[in-house]
Chain A
Amino acid sequence: MAEKVKKATRESFGETLVELGKDNPDIIVLDADLAEATKTNIFKKEFPERFIDCGIAESNMIGIAAGLAACGKIPFAASFAMFAAGRAFEQVRNSVGYPHLNVKVAGSHAGISVGEDGATHQCCEDIALMRAIPGMVVLNPADHYEMVDAVKAAAAYKGPVYLRLGRLAVESCTEDVAEPFELGKGRTLREGDDIAIVATGLMVGEALKAHEALKASGIHARVIDIHTIKPIDRELLIKAAKETGRIVTVEEHSVIGGLGEAVCACLCEECPVPVTRIGVNDVFGHSGPAVDLLKEFGLSAENIEATVKKVLGK
């Protein structure tokens, strides 16, 4: 069993790029003047000749990455989620998605846990935007270990990938998971048949804490970790719906267009069961310490526990 580590997934991202860069000379890393924040500076230090700072011009950065990919490179283009997936959405769609180029778009500082910078930088729409592009793989790893696997899987996969990175240092929660990381496959982290909590990214750790608290109240909640939001693991979700009959989704993203809606879309066609979505409820965030904001917006183990109890009438 690997040890518990407390680390922001952006840090794990930067370190893994270096690891990949050592073996693969085609790995090129691009940033838009945020290398210190996205942690691509770790790669920049090791491989300055393969690091391209595009300056504050995210739209052009995505186009440059597309051109590099068209010439056989494996570019990772990083910025804040707001700018990589938001500002440059149309470049990702038309210059990367449509030609299905081998570009990896990394959106850091996603969600409201950006904290003090406030609403302009708290991107809660990136998953919705990236999911809507045909052929785009959308990854939202939960912790350090999952991010290491996700970066490697993204590099090995031929095609466009969106990778969501967090700013906040979080305690790892998948270090003891035996099931290997596989693109497009969710992982059942805890068994239980009373209800299924389907979580992604930063919320996986909270879902696991909620599982323990619920257990003390005699509620056995299954916990499913969805690191790949697209393509989503339909089989695992349908099985959970059939066996538990009730789903709660939780994500640090808008309830519009994210994990919750992806789960609903899958289940409504194959096994309709009630789904309760925990996420950012169609509002903008605001400034404040990340941990306090997460509590305020209900993105906490406590709220997951309370929601599950309410749903089950307990």
Chain B
Amino acid sequence: MQIMDVQKRKELQITAEKVRRCILEGVFHAKSGHPGGSLSSAEIFTYLYFQEMRIDPQNPRSPDRDRFVLSKGHCAPGWYGALAQRGYFDVSELQKLRHIGAMLQGHPDMKGTPGVDMSTGSLGQGISAAVGMAMAGKMDKASYRVYTLLGDGEIEEGQVWEAAMFAGHHALDNLCVLVDFNGLQIDGPVAEVAGPEPIDKKFEAFGFETITIDGNDFDEIEKAMEAAKACKGKPFAIIAKTIKGKGVSFMENQAGWHGKAPNKEEYEAAVKEVEGRLEAFGAL
């Protein structure tokens, strides 16, 4: 396996920690929101916006840009963190997340937020819009690619499989579906609530090529993204095994942190952990 350049990996790791700090900051100041699934996806958001996607934060509506749809819209704090770090808007917006009059809504709003390509939040719907965008790209013979991130709980929605069937049928190889397989949903482990596994086999049955990776590891994310781009004639699904609440010890693998804001003590303890890693990278 080709290993990523050490310096590049370190930069991505630093950015992912900064995204984590944004998540904590946003959710803490909002006194609500979804830290668990935002933290588990921090590496995915970071890789997409700092390595993978062909985008220009100065020109967020450019017609030939790559598109991203956050189908698991409740993990907006993680996406907002990556967009802010990438320069779509000021990092200070995170402190106003979910406040009256704020640009950053509880769930992504394409009308008001630069870089947000689709409004999402109602689970199962984002993937259909992403598939529609990929279809538009095919009709126009455009070169852009479309990425969409789903939750492992989200794939319990029937619409996800309607969209998957469509994408497979139309051989949308400009589409890359990512599933954040952190194993937990609000009511408990996904395996106990509704049992969406095996996720890879389901997508394969719908005409996808798949890869299962450690979704908190940049080397593995890079390998998967390269495989996705190399895949022709089929849509691609990356099943990213992650740790819910990743990077904050007391939030890790706890379903209770799906949709709960930390109090002041918890917030400070969490930020201390994240900043400890940034300091170790010499990036604080």
A residues near B, CB below 8 A? 28, 49-50, 52, 54-55, 57, 59-60, 62-73, 90-91, 94-95, 98-100
Contacts and interface: CB of A to CB of B under 8 A. Distances in A.
Contacts of A57: 159, 162, 165-166
Contacts of B118: 66-67, 70, 95, 99
8 contacts: A55-B169, A57-B165, A59-B162, A60-B159, A63-B131, A67-B136, A70-B129, A99-B118
Nearest to B130: A67
Interface string B62-73: 010001010000
Interface of B: 63, 67, 69, 109-111, 117-119, 121-122, 124-137, 139-140, 158-159, 162-163, 165-166, 169
Given A54-B166, A59-B162, A65 B119 contact: no
A63 B119 contact: no
Contacts, number: 104
A57 B132 CA distance: 14
A171 B132 CA distance: 38
A98 B131 contact: no
Contact of A59 (B69, B121, B128): B128
B122 A90 contact: yes
Task: Name which of A50, A55, A62, A67 has the most chain B CB atoms within 10 A of its CB.
Answer: A67
Contacts of B162: 55, 57, 59-60
Contacts of B169: 55
B131 A64 contact: yes
B128 A67 contact: yes
B128 A64 contact: yes
Contact of B128 (A60, A72, A100): A60
Given A54-B166, A60-B128, A67-B130, 18 more contacts: A55-B166, A59-B159, A60-B131, A60-B162, A60-B163, A60-B166, A63-B132, A64-B166, A66-B129, A66-B132, A67-B118, A67-B133, A68-B132, A70-B118, A70-B129, A70-B132, A91-B125, A99-B109
Task: Name which of A28, A64, A68 has the most chain B CB atoms within 10 A of its CB.
Answer: A64
Given A55-B166, A57-B166, A100-B111, A70 B133 contact: yes
A71 B131 contact: no
Contacts of A63: 125-129, 131-132, 159, 163
